[in-house]
Structure 1
Amino acid sequence: MPDGQFYEGPRMLRFKVNYDKCIDGIALLAEHKPGITQYYIGKVFFFADKEHLLDWGRPISGDHYVAMDHGPVPSVIYDMLKDDAGLPDEVNEKLASRISITLNGKKREVYAHATADNHRWQSLSKDEVKYLLDSLKKYGNKSFTELRNITHNERAWADAYETGSNNAPMDYEKLIPDSFDDRSAFVEQIKERAAFDRA
C-alpha cells in the first residue's frame, strides 16, 4: 500500500512484520523451553508484543494477529512453524538453520539448534529478549485451558472473534486499555510510525 493511501472501510492499526525478530524470538523461546509447541510460542509472543507495545509504542515482532478459537495467533509465526507456508526461501532457510520441529501427534515441538554464537539474537535488543523471556516465565507453564481463558479476556481478540469472520484480524489499538494514561496521545504517536490496513 503506497504511503499516505488507505483502504476504504474500517482501518486497523498494523505494523510491518520483522522476520528476523520472529526467527530469533522463536529460537530464543525454544532454547529456553526445549519442545515448546507452536501454541505456546504464539501466546508467549502475543503477551510480549502487547507489553512491549504498551511500554515502547511498538510490538517486537510486528506480526499480524488473528482471532482463532483458542485465542490470538501471530499469523506469520504460525506459518513459519508449518510446512509449505509459502514464505520466502531465505526466511525458511534461516529458520531451518536455527530450529528443528518434531511432530508429536498433532503437536509441533520446537527445538533450538545448539550454537556457541554469542550474537545469535542479534536482531533482538536486550529489552526485547527480556520481554520474551518474562512472557515465557509468566505464561509458558500455564495449561492450554488457562491460556485460552486468559486470551479470551483480551478485547482485541473478543472484538475480532465476534465479527464471525474466519481468522479475523486483530487491531493492535485495542490492546491499549482505556485506562492507559494519555491514551489518545499515545495512540496518535503510534499511528505516526505504524501502518493501517482494512479489517
Structure 2
Amino acid sequence: MKSPITGKEMPLCREKRRAEFRKESFEIVFHFYKCEDSGEQFTTTELDELNLAQLHNQYRYSNNIPFTDEIAKVRNKYQVSASSMSEILGLGVNTYRNYEVGEIPSKANAKLISLADNPNYFKELVKSCTTLKENDRKKILKRADTLINKNEEQFPTTAVLDYIFGSDNKGKLTGFKKPNAEKLAQMVLFFAERMKPYKTKMNKLLFYADFLNFRNSAFSISGMQYIAIDHGPVPDNFQSIFEYLSNEGYIKREIQHFPSGKEGTIFATSDKHKFDASLFTDAEMEILNGVANKFKDISASDIKEISHLEQGWIKNENNKSAINYEYAFDMDGQAIHR
C-alpha cells in the first residue's frame, strides 16, 4: 500500500495491542501500514476486518458464545427456516438472521441458542411456542425425536470421533473453530489426490493450510490443534487420525521401502470417497490450492526443514507443546517464500 502522504510503499506492520469490545479488553495482533517518513499509520478494509475478527473471536470464546457457523448448524439440523427458529427462540426474525451472518448475540441469547442444540431442550422450546402453525410444530417435533434417537444409537461412534479429532473449542489453539472431522478428512483427501504425499509431508500440508487460512481470516479451516515435534508441526493425535481415515476408506496408505532399509508411508486415494469441494468456502479452496501448488514438487524432508523455520515450531519444539495460531501472522517471512 502506498502512503497517501508521500506516495511511497509502506511496510505492513504488526504489534500486540489491547482492544475493547462490550466493555471487555483483549490482546490482538494489530495489523497496519506505517508511513516511514511521517510516522502515520493506515489500515485497509481487509486489515480492519482481520483486526476486528480477532477481537470478536476472543470475546466469543471467553463468553462461550457460538460462532456464526455453529448458530446456523443448530438451525439446519432441525431443518427449520430462520423465521421459525426466531419464533421458537423468542427472538425477532431480523435479530436471529443477523446472528447467522456475523452479529454477536447477547450472552443471554447465546446461552439460549447453545441450549437449543440439545434436541431434548429444543423440544420443550417448540412445545411452548404459541405462534407456530400446528403442522410445522409436528414436523419439527418429529425431527427432534429422530435426532434424539439417532444420538442415542450413535453415541459410541461420536465418542470415538471426539477422542480422535478433539471435541472442544480451544480458542487460539484450534484457530477459533471446533475440530471438524469431515473437513480434516476432506483436506487429507484433497492433498492425497493432488500429490500422493508421504506422511511427513501430509502433516505439514495440513499445518500450512490451516495456519495460512488463519493468517488471512483469523479462523482455521479444520479446527485442529497442532503440536511441535522433532519432525515439525503435526496435527494432535495424527497417528490415530490417519488410522481412522484409512479404516473409513478416505485414503489408502502404501508402504514405500528404501535401499537404506527405512520405509515411508504414502497417502493415496481410494475408490470409496472423492474430494467434496462444497464443504469449503472459496477462500478456503484458494488456500488449499495455493498450498498444493507451493509444495507440490518439494520433498518430505525439504518441507520438514521449511517448517523448522516457522516461529510457531521454534518456540514450542523444546516442550513439544501446542502451537498458538497467532504464530500464523509470522508466516509471511522466509519460510514459505524461500
What range describes the TM-score normalised by the shorter chain of this pair? 0.5 to 0.7
- Distance in structure 1 (CA, Å) of the matches to 2:294 and 2:331: 24
Q: Which has the larger radius of gyration?
A: 2
Are the equivalent residues in 1 in contact too, given 2:249–2:273 (CA < 8 A)?
Answer: no
Specify every segment of 5 or more residues in structure 2 that has no aligned partner in the other structure, as ranges: 1-60, 65-169, 258-262, 333-338
Q: How many residue pairs end up in the alignment?
A: 159
Question: How many angstroms does 1:23 deviate by?
Answer: 0.2
Give the alignment partner of residue 264 of structure 2, picking from 95, 102, 107: 107
Please name the residue that 2:324 is paired with: 171
Q: Tell me, yes or no, if structure 1 residue 156 matches structure 2 residue 319.
A: no
Q: Kindly report which structure 2 residues correspond to 1:1-199, keeping only aligned pairs within 5 A, or say none.
A: 4=63, 13-15=172-174, 16-33=178-195, 35-82=196-243, 92=244, 96-105=248-257, 106-114=263-271, 120-161=276-317, 164-165=318-319, 167-177=320-330
Please name the residue that 1:89 is paired with: none
- Distance in structure 2 (CA, Å) of the matches to 1:14 and 1:134: 23
Percent of aligned positions that are identical: 19
Specify every segment of 5 or more residues in structure 1 that has no aligned partner in the other structure, as ranges: 6-10, 83-91, 180-199
Give the number of the structure with larger relative contact order, counting CA–CA contacts within 8 Å between residues 6 or more apart.
Answer: 1
Q: Secondary structure at the match of 2:227?
A: strand
Q: TM-score, normalised by structure 2?
A: 0.42
Question: How many angstroms does 1:78 deviate by?
Answer: 4.3
Question: How many angstroms does 1:53 deviate by?
Answer: 0.5
Q: CA 1:178–1:17 in structure 2 vs 1: closer, same or farther (change >3 Å)?
A: closer
Are the equivalent residues in 1 in contact too, given 2:252–2:268 (CA < 8 A)?
Answer: yes
Deviating above 4 A after TM superposition, structure 1's stretches of 4 or more consecutive aligned residues are 2-5
Deviations 1:8-43 (A, max 9, x none): xxx98222211111100111111112x322111111
Q: CA 1:19–1:94 in structure 2 vs 1: closer, same or farther (change >3 Å)?
A: farther
Question: How many angstroms does 1:64 deviate by?
Answer: 0.9
Q: Secondary structure at the match of 2:255?
A: strand
Are the equivalent residues in 1 in contact too, given 2:201–2:299 (CA < 8 A)?
Answer: no
Question: How many angstroms does 1:98 deviate by?
Answer: 2.2
Question: How many angstroms does 1:108 deviate by?
Answer: 1.5
Deviations 1:25-72 (A, max 9, x none): 111111112x32211111111111121101111111121111111211
Q: CA 1:56–1:104 in structure 2 vs 1: closer, same or farther (change >3 Å)?
A: same
Counterpart amino acid of 2:280? L
Q: TM-score, normalised by structure 1?
A: 0.67
Q: CA 1:140–1:43 in structure 2 vs 1: closer, same or farther (change >3 Å)?
A: farther
Q: CA 1:69–1:116 in structure 2 vs 1: closer, same or farther (change >3 Å)?
A: closer
- Distance in structure 1 (CA, Å) of the matches to 2:288 and 2:247: 18
